[in-house]
Amino acid sequence: MIKVFIVDDHEIIREGLKKILKEEADLVVVGEAQNGDEVLQNIKDIDCDIMLLDMNMPGRSGLDLIGDLKKLKPHMHILVLSIHPEDKFALRTLKAGASGYVCKDTALEELVVAIRKVFIKGRYLSTTLAEQLAFDFMPDKGEQLPHESLSNREQEIMYLLASGKKVKDIAADLQLSISTVFTYRVRIFEKLKIKSNVELTHYAITNKLVD
């Protein structure tokens, strides 16, 4: 029996996932949490094979949370669920220690397949993600692009800004102060050598970071 723990800040998502997994004879949901802080506070009592982790929860960055969880439970597999397409954040989650990445709008059957593959093989990679990963580790890739030097949180905020979100909305979504988000915005602009949100959006579109 594969023991699964669900972490998502939306109750309707958690209930939906539990309903889906309940239909599978070899899967059992052993617990749930609504945010990263709750998980970290109770991590010693969490006994699971695979943690389904929403990357877009308020508070602590999902990418940073992966690293913390792997330090505390190195043998626990983390399968990231995200609203973002694979080409936006998937490679970063794998480098942070995740065992796989699944978009929330993907077919439910793929999620079940991903859980089983992670349990058996230790990792789940879609064909697209496998190609990205192979390219990412190829030698002589050339000069690093500016956005690749951003921290996990900076990249997350960059993506939200480039997608048209306002600073106050980003602050509310991530449970950060508006001044903190502005500070991140300044750092992002400095690293990308740009001066406005318009330039940021243009940069993101040019480098296929947003659609």
Q: What percent of the chain has pLDDT over 90?
A: 48
Top-confidence residue, 206 or 129: 206
In the chain, how many domains are there? 2
- Of 85, 114, 136, the position where a domain reaches its end is 136
pLDDT confidence tier of residue 206, bands split at 50, 70 and 90 = confident
Q: Are residues 62 and 109 in the same domain?
A: yes
- pLDDT: is 109 or 49 the higher one? 49
Say how far apart CA 25 and CA 108 lie, in whole Å: 16
16 and 105 part of one domain:
yes
Domain check: are 111 and 183 in the same one? no
For the ranges 80-94, 139-153, 174-188, which has the lowest average pLDDT?
139-153
pLDDT tens digits, residue range 153-205?
Answer: 888 899 889 888 899 999 988 888 999 999 999 999 999 999 998 999 888 88
* Secondary structure of 79-106 as H, E, C letters: EEEECCCHHHHHHHHHHHCCCEEEECCC
pTM here is: 0.71
d(CA 155, CA 149): 9
Query: Does one domain contain both 81 and 180?
Result: no
Domain end, chosen from 110, 136, 162, is at: 136
The one-letter code for the residue type at 97 is G
> Residue 35: which domain range?
2-136
Mark residue 195 as left, alpha or beta (left: phi above 0; alpha: psi -120 to 50; beta: remaining).
alpha
Contact at 8 Å (CB) between 32 and 18? Answer: yes
Q: Is the pLDDT of residue 139 over 60?
A: no
127 and 179, same domain (yes or no) = no
